[in-house]
Amino acid sequence: MGWIRETILVAVIAALACCRALAGEPVECRWTEEKITIDGVSVEGAWARAQVIENFQMGWKKEGERKPLRGTKARLLWDREYLYFFAEMEDGDLFADVTKHNGRIWDNDVFELFFKPVEDKPGYFEFEVNAANATLDQFFVKRESNGFGQLNEKYPFELKTAVKLRGTLNKRDDRDEGWSVEGRIPWKNFAPAGGRPGVGEIWKYAACRYDYDNNRNEGKPELSSSAPLSESKFHKFEDYALLKFVGPGDGKIQRVVWQNEHLQGTPEPPAAYAVKQRFEKLKIFQPIHVAVEPGTRNLIVTQHLGNWAGPGKIIRIRNEPNVSDKEILLDLDYLVYGLTFHPQFEKNGFVYLIANGPLSGGGKKMNKVFRYTMSREAPYRIDPTSQQVVIEWESDGHNGGELGFGADGMLYIPAGDGTSDSDVNLRGQDLRYLTSAMIRIDVDHPEAGKNYSVPKDNPFLDVPGARPEIWAYGFRNPWRMAFDRKTGQCFVGVNGQDLWEYVLLVQRGENYGWSLYEGSHEFQPNRKQGPTPITKPVLEHHHSEFRSLTGGIVYYGKKFPELQGAYIYGDFSTGRIWAAKHDGKKILWDKELVDTTLQILHFCEDQDGELLIADQGTGIYTLERAPKAERIPFPTRLSETGLFVSTRDNKPHPGLVPYSVNAPLWSDGAGKERFIALPGSERIDYTSSNGWNFPNGAVLVKTFSLGERRIETRLLAKQQNDWHGYTYVWDEGQQDAMLVESGGMDREYLVDGKKQTWHYPSRAECLVCHSRAANFVLGLSELQMNQGDQLHRLEELGIFKVDWIGPVKEATKKDALKKGMKEDKAGEYADSVCALAEQRGVVESTLLNKRPESLTKMADPYDPSADLNKRARAYLHSNCAICHVEAGGGNAKIDLSYSVPESKMSLFDERPQHHTFGIEGAKLVASGEPEKSVLLRRVSMREAGQMPPLASSAVDEKAVEMLREWIKSRKPK
């Protein structure tokens, strides 16, 4: 008799749900992870767990006359991509003779759903299915605004339905039992009103029915609805019932609040300087160079639109903080690196550009120095027809990036080695080419047939085969040159290769070593040296501090007297700005001024001698004194950070979220525990590619253990829109951990009877790997975190903030393009049908856009059952792609990202750009030949040239063996 009790219980629960709905409590649209097959039957277990909606009525009639003759039961479910519905209807006369989509199907037996996402916004949706499985779908901008069918072409729908009949259709003289319909509606169909609901969101809805019966009502349908309608009008949304979207987990997993109350400020002394945007009312996109127009208060700004793909654009603005206008002076099919004015510009109007291209049409890439003439009468425009090529040379890669007139009136142009790798053309020490050299020419006294002449005091006029234009040589990629306007000294910043960034004080005839040396350090010492001795840089920075040095200027402004005569320079990758004082013979001091989030491409002094900074991302900045602020004590003990309830018991705060990754970074065999700490109710900006975006106050926690012993806890903390790394060393008693000094340290531990050196990274080293190219976070990405049910758990906690509407807009635009719409019109169309401002607008979502099972994920490199190629790619991604990606700081051409196609990795059977380690016939990866593969050699050693280059003193033997088998398995070309 148990089945009787169960049936009675289900009926009671349904009756109570019906009563709640009638009383104004929301009906639940429940979450499902189960896949629903649209076949017209409710066989999936998810339907059994859905709330039954059976309070169909005719609310506009008198009490006692409201119950329809035929019963209806409906259910609603939802997941990340769809809203599902199932309705089961009693029906004695199955009738449906309309088969056209969006026809008059309400003249048939039909089931209808109405959804109104927002009470105070006019838009709502209608979906209908008749017993012949014909459908109708509509979005109403406001009630009856369409006129029937008028907007269907603009708002696309993808309603999928299936019908099952219990009887015969359109046989009017028999008696039928009923019919059922199952369907799904993609959330993107709701895009005009903001699309998918948030967890717990409440909409208004009505499930309705037309029931035609030939044996009653003289052909008129019986209408019924789950909403308590006061009139027999299904569009009367004022009377609709409430529908609550119950999210994943059903609230079983609760997020515990953690507040970042202790990790504030910095352990370092407060910076004396800060940067501030100069032109807040003017958006300057991707500035690469700034110059002062002589005799004016104008600035000439060069832009590199499309990052390094060009084209170049030159604009003019007033150097006034409130400027809001700009004027275009020149568009060029070249990437323009620098611009300078002739010393007599105010008389002759000559403007000189250094550029590389052309960008379109193919062909060889050339460095060209162009001269243009700017009119000497208002409106003082550059005449594009005045273009004159002064000098040119082939260059495709390290092209250099500046030009300028010295105090001697000569034009100086620093050039790179002309390739994108490690001087494979051997130009660094070869005087037969203009590459890798400081070019010095006289543009005022051109020789016959040229637009310049060679100064008589250039140093290599008598060297056989040497280009006479060369003043100095041995440059890798000079990025920015500046003359000290008081001493005449020429400073050149140079982008390094493997480990070093440096600054040269360039003088007549000197050799700066590339590619025998990288700065003052041997690089390829066996290559042939040029005819003169090697001169070392005046400044050097290891890649633990700088990754892509941007040369600066010698400061003589009035705002900072203490910096008078100092060379101010910075770093593109880390955003740091430094200053150094040189007395003509040696560096007196060199110090960091401020650590910024800028991507620094150029320093310029304005009309007042004050510093301007071109930031690739957001425009032009100035250097300011930092406002005085009370120094907040920074926790020197891990127990003071608020991240642990007990460090002695290794018990983290319950608000910290544990996580693991698919392919861990090799850390000399150490075990790791990882946690995410998000302050308050803050969320993670979820992205499908690259690392996720975290809010200020977030902390990533990682504790390392050798055996049973905890040795280090590293924190990566986001403060004031920038990430900072801190590391704590555990004490002998495992009670607590102390903050390591900013320079880091090494310590020896005994592991399995052997000594092992453990490196505690400096704070600068933390951001070598946690770089801008990796979006600062490494393991926090879809590829790494899509493991087991981990994404499900994080989703249930509600810690994600997902851009739902962006991908829908992009998909809508692509569909429009496929149908022949032009690019600009397709974009406008997508905007016009998605998240309309007068409707619900964009709704913040905590749910992923797809099921985790369908999202990208990496293999575990140490899982022997996984695909060998995927294991190898995963290992390279987690251990090498930190640097070896586009703009990652790795100076090889290879891209080791997991998602990059093999054809674009530049890895297989390619010649090494750097060391070959004496391997005959060496390749980066020699297919089928591990012994000839430089990549394997680098991973399997721990000395100069090892990979990864930092913070590892032990070889990952399992990975070496896995990579060896992978290389062996690859078929040679």
Pairing of strands 539-542, 500-506: antiparallel
Cα gap 290→284, rounded to integer Å: 11
Percent of the chain with pLDDT over 70: 95
| Of 609-613, 827-831, 942-946, 964-968, minimum mean pLDDT range | 942-946
Phi and psi at 763, nearest 5°, equal -65, -30
Residue 664 CA to residue 779 CA, distance in Å, equals 8
Whole-angstrom CA distances from 283 to 124, 328, 722 are 38, 14, 22
* pLDDT of res. 16: 40
Token digits for 158?
């993808």
* Residue 610 pLDDT greater than 50, yes or no: yes
In three-state form (DSSP H/G/I as H, E/B as E, the rest C), the secondary structure along 9-68 is HHHHHHHHHHHHHHCCCCEEEEECCCCCCCCCCCCCHHHHHCCCECCCECCCCCCCCCCC
- Residue among 172, 154, 166, 107 nearest 134 (CA): 107
From CA 638, how far away is CA 402, in angstroms rounded? 48
Residue 944 CA neighbour count, 13 Å, CB half = 10
Closest-CA residue to 892 (of 905, 901, 902): 905
Q: What percent of the chain clears pLDDT 90, i.e. is strictly above it?
A: 78
What one-letter code names the amino acid at 416?
Answer: G
| Torsion over CA: 413, 417, 419, 421 (sign) | negative
Q: Torsion over CA of 43, 44, 48 and 51, rounded to 10 degrees?
A: -110
Is a pLDDT exceeding 80 seen at residue 733? yes
Report residue 437's pLDDT band, with 50, 70 and 90 as the boundaries. Answer: very high
Identify the residue with better confidence: 266 or 40. 40
Please state the φ and ψ torsions of residue 783, each to the nearest 5 degrees: -55, -40
Give the model confidence (pLDDT) of 336-388 as tens digits.
999 999 999 999 999 999 999 998 887 899 999 999 999 988 889 999 999 99
In terms of pTM, does the model score above 0.85?
no
Q: What is the DSSP letter of 823?
A: H
pLDDT tens string 86-98: 999 999 999 999 9
In this predicted model, what pLDDT tens digit does every residue of 539-557 receive, in sequence order? 999 887 888 999 999 999 9
Sorting pLDDT into bands at 50, 70 and 90, what band is 334?
A: very high
Asked if omega into 933 is within 30° of 0 (cis), the reply is no
Tens digits of per-residue pLDDT, 792-805? 999 999 999 999 99
pLDDT of residue 526: 86
- Residue 799 is predicted with a pLDDT of 95
Residue with tokens 């039928």: 176
Residue 424's pLDDT is 83
pLDDT attached to residue 785 = 97
22 pLDDT more than 60: no
Instruction: Name the token pair of 895.
Output: 């891209």
Supply the pLDDT for residue 152.
56
Minimum mean pLDDT range among 304-313, 696-705, 889-898: 889-898
Region 559-584: what's the mean pLDDT?
95
For 903-957, what is each residue's pLDDT tens digit?
999 999 998 877 788 899 999 999 999 999 999 999 999 987 888 877 888 999 9
* Rounded Cα gap, residues 522 and 514, in angstroms: 9
* 8 A C-beta contact, residue 301 and residue 314: yes
Tokens of 540: 């050097």
pLDDT tens per residue across span 803-812: 999 999 999 9
Q: Which is nearest to 566 in space by CA: 551, 548, 578?
A: 578
How high is the pLDDT of residue 893?
A: 72
Q: Please check the confidence at residue 665 and state whether its pLDDT lies above 70.
A: yes
| pLDDT exceeds cutoff 90 at 607 | yes
Q: Which residue has the higher pLDDT, 949 or 444?
A: 444
Convert the pLDDT of each residue in 143-186 to its tens digit: 876 655 455 567 889 999 999 999 999 998 899 999 999 999 99
SS3 state at 419: coil
| 723-732, 764-773, 860-869, 913-922, range with the lowest pLDDT | 764-773
> What proportions of the chain, in percent to the nearest 5, are helix, strand and coil?
15, 30, 55
Distance in angstroms (rounded) separating the CA atoms of residues 304 and 316: 15
Q: What is the DSSP letter of 721?
A: T
Name the least confident of 221-230, 247-256, 369-378, 504-513: 247-256
